[in-house]
């Protein structure tokens, strides 16, 4: 007899999913009876950590990852990072426990009421199969949904007594393909791009996710187009030291409008248009100058639908950009003026500034290293002093929710052979500090740089926008990240003086084990 468990593990194996993240409870234990040797279980001490680590692992491998969640409470714990995975377009398969079917007539302990509805709308697909024998096929369907662009999380709720029931093996089934835009529309766009006076590109997270990084560089160089990074982009879509790089668009109407005003055609590649963080001065303002034509290429029909102006083409970015590269050659255009470049900062005054920290990290980190960032107040100095030039070199959360970065860095370090650096604010770190224990148990070579300013500095900065001079609940005194690391088996070093920064960072980057640098910044 083939059990539901055996058939489900076969489905996972067929999709290359043999690493499972989670924190098991009583309603999930039968799933792991006779756990096979070719599978690995990565334990997180809280479900949000497990989800965040799975997100980092999935992004690092380019494959779906599976997360085991403990009934309704575990789904609740993990939902913040499920939301982030949804915004990141990360393919996650969430398998949540449920009480035994024979008990569901009442409200038993650990009962999940309407479990398929609980994570909505931040999952692409959510089911509790009607019969135990349907679990393996439902799992296969969920994996296909999660990995079909635009990717995202899915959830299956499985009653505890289903796993030992009889099931039929699921036949092999492959879903292949990409989103291809209309060739006539793309051909017309190629001609318009060639005829533009001063075109610009705006790159978002889909560029890196779709493997279009080099194609976008070629398109920009062919058209002498200035390239901006879209607001809140979670990945690196263009080399930031390139001659055509124009900087980062803010999530504010006036700043976007000012940057785009010099361009008669703006091509937005793989980003919403636009994820604003504040209201504009004029209701309904699109932030696109009236004389500027905007065209968007995106794999996401939902993003295309709410773009307020211009033309949207639903297509995989790589497919779309390659179609544009096959279009008519443009006339020779003058190169745009070089974008702003930050001056180097000097160590002085006896304190470590964010600028000095990021400049030193840029100087010392290996060229092929990967940075996972969740330090919102440090984003501006990072853009100025820590440039990224490669595909797959930078990751952050697209949602704005804290608690993703540190667990995601652990998952990324598990997935990638390159050195991974976690750049984490002190407030952010405390949302997922249990991830240090997982890093220690896994022994991953992870360098964790905590930007320790003893407050939610981003909130202080944002308070100025509302004219608030004394925001409440932003001070974070008394945190000791060296002690927090030691309590979970990770070595830590407190860095307070500029002279200590370079040697401490060099040692941490060379360590084969996880290391926390608690960097006190002014």
Closest CA to 85 of 182, 135, 151: 151
Structural contact between residues 413 and 386, judged by C-beta atoms closer than 8 angstroms? no
Classified by CATH at the fold level, domain 4-162 comes out as Rossmann fold (3.40.50)
Tokens coding 452: 């320790």
| CA–CA distances in Å: residue 330 to residues 47, 193, 203, 260 | 52, 8, 21, 20
Domain boundaries, the chain: 4-162, 183-325, 354-520
The yes-or-no answer to whether 183-325 and 354-520 have a common fold is yes
Does the active-site annotation cover 206? no
Distance CA 326, CA 291 (A): 27
Does the active-site annotation cover 56? no
Q: Kindly report the CATH class assigned to 183-325.
A: alpha beta
Choice among 28, 240, 355, 373 that is catalytic: 28
Beta bridge partners of 314: 298
Beta bridge partners of 158: 97
Does the active-site annotation cover 71? no
Choice among 26, 117, 443, 497 that is catalytic: 26
CB atoms within 10 A of CB 175: 11
**pLDDT one digit per residue (tens) for the chain, 522 residues:** 999 999 999 999 999 999 999 999 999 999 999 999 999 999 999 999 999 999 999 999 999 999 999 999 999 999 999 999 999 999 999 999 999 999 998 999 989 999 999 999 999 999 999 999 999 999 999 999 999 999 999 999 999 999 999 999 999 999 987 889 999 999 999 999 999 999 999 999 999 999 999 999 999 999 999 999 999 999 999 999 999 999 999 998 889 999 999 999 999 999 999 988 877 767 778 889 899 999 999 999 999 999 999 999 999 999 999 999 999 999 999 998 888 889 999 988 899 999 999 999 999 999 999 999 999 999 999 999 999 999 999 999 999 999 999 999 999 999 999 999 999 999 999 999 999 999 999 999 999 999 999 999 888 888 887 889 888 999 999 999 999 999 999 999 999 999 999 999 999 999 999 999 999 999
Choice among 25, 152, 181, 270 that is catalytic: 25
Does the active-site annotation cover 452? no
Choice among 6, 22, 44, 47 that is catalytic: 47
Does the active-site annotation cover 279? no
Closest CA to 7 of 127, 164, 159: 164
Does the active-site annotation cover 373? no
Choice among 247, 339, 400, 489 that is catalytic: 400
Does the active-site annotation cover 25? yes
Choice among 15, 70, 253, 385 that is catalytic: 70
Q: Kindly report the CATH class assigned to 354-520.
A: alpha beta
The model's pTM is: 0.96
Cis peptide bond N-terminal to 513, omega within 30 = no
């Amino acid at each position: 007899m083939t059990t539901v468990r055996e058939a489900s593990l076969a489905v996972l194996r067929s999709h290359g999913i043999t690493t499972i993240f989670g924190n098991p409870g009583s309603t999930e234990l039968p799933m792991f009876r006779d756990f096979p040797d070719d599978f690995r279980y990565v334990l997180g001490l809280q479900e949000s950590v497990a989800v965040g680590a799975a997100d980092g692992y999935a992004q690092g491998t380019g494959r779906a990852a599976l997360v085991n969640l403990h009934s309704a409470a575990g789904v609740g714990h993990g939902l913040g990072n499920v939301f982030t995975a949804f915004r990141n377009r990360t393919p996650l398969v969430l398998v949540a426990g449920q009480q035994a079917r024979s008990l569901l007539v009442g409200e038993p302990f650990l009962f999940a009421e309407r479990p398929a509805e609980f994570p909505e709308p931040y999952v692409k697909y959510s089911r509790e199969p009607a019969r135990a024998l349907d679990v393996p096929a439902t799992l296969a369907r969920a994996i296909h949904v999660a990995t079909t662009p635009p990717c995202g999380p899915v959830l299956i709720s499985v009653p505890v007594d289903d796993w030992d029931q009889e099931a039929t093996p699921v036949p092999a089934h492959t879903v292949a393909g990409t989103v291809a835009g209309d060739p006539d529309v793309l051909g017309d766009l190629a001609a318009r791009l060639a005829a533009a006076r001063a075109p610009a590109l705006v790159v978002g997270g889909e560029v890196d996710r779709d493997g279009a990084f080099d194609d976008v560089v070629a398109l920009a160089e062919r058209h002498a187009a200035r390239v901006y990074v879209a607001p809140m982009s979670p990945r690196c879509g263009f080399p930031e030291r390139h001659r055509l790089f124009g900087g980062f668009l803010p999530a504010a109407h006036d700043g976007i409008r000012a940057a785009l005003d010099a361009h008669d055609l703006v091509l937005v590649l793989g980003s919403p248009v636009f994820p604003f963080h504040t209201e504009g001065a004029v209701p309904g303002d699109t932030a696109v100058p009236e004389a500027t034509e905007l065209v968007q290429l995106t794999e996401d029909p939902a993003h295309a639908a709410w773009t307020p102006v211009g033309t949207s083409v639903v297509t995989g970015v790589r497919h779309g950009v390659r179609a544009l590269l096959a279009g008519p050659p443009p006339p020779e255009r003058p190169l745009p003026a070089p974008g702003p470049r930050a001056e180097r900062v000097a160590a002085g005054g006896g304190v470590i500034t964010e600028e000095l920290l990021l400049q030193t990290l840029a100087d010392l980190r290996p060229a092929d290293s990967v940075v996972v960032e969740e330090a919102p107040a440090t984003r501006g100095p990072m853009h100025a002093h820590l440039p990224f030039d490669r595909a797959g070199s930078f990751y952050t959360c697209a949602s704005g929710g804290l608690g993703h970065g540190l667990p995601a860095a652990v998952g990324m370090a598990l997935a990638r052979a390159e050195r991974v650096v976690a750049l984490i604010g002190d407030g952010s770190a405390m949302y997922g500090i249990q991830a240090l224990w997982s890093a220690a148990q896994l022994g991953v070579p992870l360098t964790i740089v905590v930007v320790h300013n003893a407050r939610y500095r981003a909130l202080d900065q944002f308070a100025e926008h509302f004219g608030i001079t004394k925001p409440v609940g932003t001070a974070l005194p008394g945190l000791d990240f060296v002690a927090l690391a030691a309590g979970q088996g990770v070595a830590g070093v407190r860095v307070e003086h500029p002279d200590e920064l370079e040697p401490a960072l060099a040692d941490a980057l060379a360590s084969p084990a996880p290391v926390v640098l608690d960097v006190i910044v002014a």
